[in-house]
Structure formats: C-alpha cells, structure tokens
Amino acid sequence: MTDTANPHHDVIIIGGGPAGLALARSLAGTSLDIVVVERQSLESLADPAFDGREIALTHRSAGIMQALGAWDRIDPAEIAPLRKAVVLNGSSPFALSFGGEGEGQDRLGHLVPNHLIRRSLYQCVEGQEGLSLITGQAVTDVRTDRGQAQVRLADGRCLTARLLIGADSRFSEVRGRLGIGAEINRLGRSMMVCRVEHDGDHGGVATEWFEHGHTMAMLPLNGQLSSAVLTLPTAAMDQLMRLSPAALGQELTRLYRERLGVMHPVSAPHVYPLATTYSNHFATTRAALIGDAAVGMHPVTAHGFNFGLQGQETLAGLIREAVEKGRDIAAPLLLRRYEMQHRLATRPLYTATNLIVGLYTDERLPQRLVRHAALRAAAGLPLIRQGVTRLLMQHR
C-alpha cells in the first residue's frame, strides 16, 4: 500500500485519522477503488506517537473496532475498564453517579490510548486490496459536481472519484472548500492531559469535577494510574506548563484535593485548545463529512470519537448497500439518508453537552446555585440516571 499513480478512483478519503481509516476498512471487500490522502508522513501514520489522550470507548464502539479487526490488535493490558462515572460540583460533597451496581453491566465502557487505536486501524488497512495511500501531501483544492469529485494535491497531482469523504479535522479544510459552513465555538480554554501515578485506588471510577475556575477529570487506567484532564483559561494553562514535573504533580494533587493521594506525572503533559464544531451539513454533491469534520464534541462527555466511529459505520453501510444493488455510491438520496441518520444520532447530545459546559463553567452565583440544584434533581430521578447511563454505554 503505497502512493498511487492512478488518478481515478471510486472513493477519495481525505484524512488518515481513526474515522478515515475505519471507513476505508469498513469498505473492504466491496471491490471499490479507494485512496486515503493524509498530510502526515507514512511513518507517523503507521506508528503514531503517544499524545496523552485516553479515549473512552462505548460498548458499541468496541464492537465496531472488533468487527474491523482492530480491537484484537491492541494489547489487553492497555485497555482499562471504566466502571462508573461521577460528577462533582465545586465544594459540595454531593456526587451524581452513573453506572456501577444496579445498572446491569460491570462497566460503562473502556479506556484506550488514542495512539494505539490509530496504530491498530492502520494495521487493519495495511495491504488491503483495492486501497492505496498517499501520505505527506496537503490538499490544495477540492471541487465536486454531478459527474465527479476532484482533488488537487500540493505536488500538482489531480485525483478524481465518484465520492469524496472529508475526514480531516474539526477545523476541516475540506468542509470549507466544499462551501459547507459550521458552528464553531472557540471556548478560550485549553485542556491538559497527563498520565499520573497516585497512592489511592480509583476503583475504575471516572470523575468529572466542575470546580470554580477550572474543570478537572480523572480517568482510571490500569493499576494506580490515571489520566488527569485539566481545563483552564488559556493564559492560566500557559503558566501551568512552565512547571517542573514535580511541581506539576504537586499542583494536580492540590487541585484534586488529594482525593487519590499524592500524584506524580509519569508522562509529559500535552495541551490542546478547546473548541466545539458542528457542520451545517454532513453531505453535499458527491461528498460527505465524517469524524470531527462533521461533529467536533467537547471532551466532557467523551463521545467525539464514538460518534466518529458510528458515523463512518452508518455511511459505509449505505455505500455497501448501493454497491450490492448496482446503484450510485454518491446518489443524493444516499447522502441525505446518511446526513439525516447521523444528525439524529449526534445533535441531541452535542446540544446538551454545550448547555452543560456553559452552565458548569459559568462562575456567576445564580448559575452556581442552578447547577447544584440540577445535580440534586437528577440524582432523585432514577429514570434520568439510567437513561444517561445507557447513552454513555451505547449498546447497539
């Protein structure tokens, strides 16, 4: 699987991240000629570096990974059970819990390092019949019409296809070049992720703590390890990143009020700017958007990656059906069906997540009172808690 000399294809996928590679794998065996175009080098794609991100996979996502052949390529020792989730608010001792005893499952989902997911998906598509890969190339132009999609690369090559897929990022250049607008919310905050060792036992419980001035999540890994996820205003994050590893551990311990004892960083911290995006359309003439190019979620509900896998599965199913029936794989009705199904699957949680983030990061006194009352009210309504738990677990 190397750079292709053939400029004509059935499907061009721009973006070799998890969503793009998963779609390429989902279309295996269809006899379609597929090319994936990725800006990164082949080496970076084949063996991604650790980036600090731990992905919370639902049961449905784990099932998709299993069907693609990617799940068994991940070392089981790197897969940590997520047994329960707890939401805390400020200094209140009250906690709203999801999962655990009485929910009928031993875990909400699984925590898996992002770089291992990406590596496993690359290994799945490596050598796949009918699939070629172009790496180290930026896309300089994208055009579609009723007859075909056309992509121009930085080296001057021009590729054509029956169907174009944008899977590049939440700030998708493909989306912009297709003339599709998007809701883009730049939150003015940054998220730091860092693996830490600690004295206490997390018990497989993930904690999301909305404290005044910052938000802190602790994601349970195997052993006495967790992924600390700290959200701060960008200026404050810049100051934090100047700390030595020892000082950073002390600060994380203080911010988390020693709930897990003393923390010691065991990996370098990684910082990511926070923004949410939602494309106005997921499809246009002979083109569709998947992954973050379609929906860029806030990490508080940990569903962005899951929506990426779910969206490509939906689109792949429609394409496979079209191939089996000898129909156009980019027919307007097919693309409208994909958009409708993926919008129904993502819009409610995207909207709810943004409302939650807005409420729980607003430091005005009325909002503080409202969010505490909201947690109390939700705790007293078992059907709501059970509904949220089922959503987080996301069985098929």
How far is it, in rounded angstroms, from Cα 39 to Cα 211? 39
Please state which CATH number belongs to domain 80-110+186-274: 3.30.9.10
Predicted TM-score of the model (pTM):
0.90
User: Going by DSSP bridges, is the β-strand pair 158-166/8-14 parallel, antiparallel, or unpaired?
Assistant: parallel
User: Going by DSSP bridges, is the β-strand pair 158-166/182-198 parallel, antiparallel, or unpaired?
Assistant: unpaired
How far is it, in rounded angstroms, from Cα 121 to Cα 165? 17
Give the distance between the most distant pair of CA atoms in the chain. 63
* Strand ranges, E, within 234-310: 263-265, 270-279, 283-284, 287-289, 295-296
Q: Count the helix, strand and coil residues of the chain and give each as a percent rounded to the nearest 5.
A: 35, 30, 30
- Residue range(s) in the chain whose domain bears CATH number 3.30.9.10: 80-110+186-274
DSSP state of 106: S
Token pair 């030595």: residue: 244
| Cα 373 versus chain centre, distance | 30
Rg from Cα positions in the chain: 22
Query: Could you list the mean pLDDT of each consecutive 10-residue stretch along the chain, which spans 396 residues?
Result: 72 97 98 97 96 93 97 97 83 64 67 97 97 96 96 96 97 96 92 96 90 87 96 93 97 94 97 94 98 90 86 98 98 98 92 69 54 53 44 49
How far is it, in rounded angstroms, from Cα 294 to Cα 314? 13
3-state secondary structure of 2: coil
How far is it, in rounded angstroms, from Cα 26 to Cα 386? 32
pLDDT at 190: 93
Burial profile 342-351: b = 16 or more Cβ within 10 angstroms, e = fewer: bbebbeebbe
In the structure encoding, which two tokens stand for residue 122, read together?
């690359």
One-letter identity of residue 384: I
How far is it, in rounded angstroms, from Cα 318 to Cα 95? 42
How far is it, in rounded angstroms, from Cα 389 to Cα 396? 14
User: In 3D, which of 310, 335, 340 has the Cα closest to residue 322?
Assistant: 335
Fold of 8-68+115-184+277-357: FAD/NAD(P)-binding domain (3.50.50)
Cβ atoms of residues 29 and 246 within 8 Å: no
User: In 3D, which of 127, 147, 141, 164 has the Cα closest to residue 25?
Assistant: 127
pLDDT at 298: 82
- Residue range(s) in the chain whose domain bears CATH number 3.50.50.60: 8-68+115-184+277-357
Contacts of 44 (CB under 8 A, 6+ apart): none
